[in-house]
Amino acid sequence: MISSAALIEKFQYALDNDWGYIYGRYGQIWTKANQEAATREQTKLYGAKWIGHHVADCSGLFYWAFKELGGYIYHGSNTMYKSYCSAKGTLSKGKRTDGKTLKPGTALFTGTESDHGHVGLYIGNGYVIEAQGTKAGVIKSKAADKKWTFWGELKNVNYDNSSENPNNSDSGFPDHSVWHPTIRRGDKGQDVRDCQTMLYNLGYSLGSYGIDGDYGRATEAAVKEFQRDQGLTVDGICGPMTWDALEKATAQISDKPKDQYYTVCIHHLDKTQADALMNNYPGATCTEE
């Protein structure tokens, strides 16, 4: 079973890394040779901008994300709606017409009851990530856009803890004690400082500037090193899964019994006596009076 948070993070990864749109693709690198051999009009017009980028079409992005997470979904938006939704219905101005909450990780579809030509992923807070078209690539758009007319909760995706309110402990994101937004290089503020503090306490280097609330090169490198150690996607972006791993790792070191240190003063020793005593306690310091 795939968590809705993990699915959202894969789509966020594609958005953050400037993925393009090429019809029929599902995460491959678009090459110059691919472009020269293209026959679709939209690809010939706009495809050259995606050379060197990962590319996918709208349902191909779902196919790639599911595959990355160890699952499977059909590559095709019509079949996705007809056969790969555990629950589905109509949508109006970004809201389910049955009055129930639209959960993060839900697929949104365009079209009519018989034809769903396009699909995107609802990520919460009124936004969708979609592979829109060859000209635009992977973008973030608004769920309230009138083109989104249907919703579908996908099979093999866990929505049990999914909620519209990201500050609720029952959100579709990992259960943080404090909810944090996705942050990346160039961001600044308290959320960056929180991330840096946890990394520092876990022993990761933040460079010469330390905990300064500025997500610079050193912080990005520390996040990548932490992600690598945790077996996460190494992208240097602190999203829901990275926050969750940071909090769990920090909790583990906080639960360990802390070492206790004592200061002992012994007066009127000569140097020979002091040296002999110090040899028995590596790391101890001696002050001459």
Task: Give me the CATH code for the 2-158 domain, please.
Answer: 3.90.1720.10
| Tokens at 241, concatenated | 């899964």
Enter the CATH code of domain 190-255. 1.10.101.10
pLDDT of residue 274: 74
Taking only the tens place, the pLDDT of each residue in 199-255 is 999 999 999 888 999 999 999 999 999 999 999 889 999 988 898 899 889 888 765
Both tokens of 105, joined, read 């990780």
Amino acid type, 194: D
Full-model pTM? 0.62
DSSP one-letter code for 145: S
Q: Which of 169, 167, 135, 153 is CA-nearest to residue 50?
A: 135
66 within 8 A of 56, measured Cβ to Cβ: no
Query: What pLDDT score was predicted for residue 282?
Result: 57
The tokens describing 167, both together, are 């500050």
* pLDDT (0 to 100) of residue 161: 58
pLDDT of 174: 46
* Cα angle for residues 7, 69, 17 (degrees, 5° grid): 60
> What is the location of CATH 1.10.101.10 in the chain?
190-255
Show the low-confidence residues of the chain (pLDDT under 70). Answer: 161-179, 254-264, 278-289
Residue 155: count other Cβ atoms within 10 Å of its Cβ: 16
Give percent helix, percent strand, percent coil of the chain, each to the nearest 5: 35, 20, 45
DSSP state of 47: G
Query: What does the pLDDT read at residue 262?
Result: 59
Residues of the chain with CATH 3.90.1720.10: 2-158
Contact 80, 152 (CB under 8 A): yes
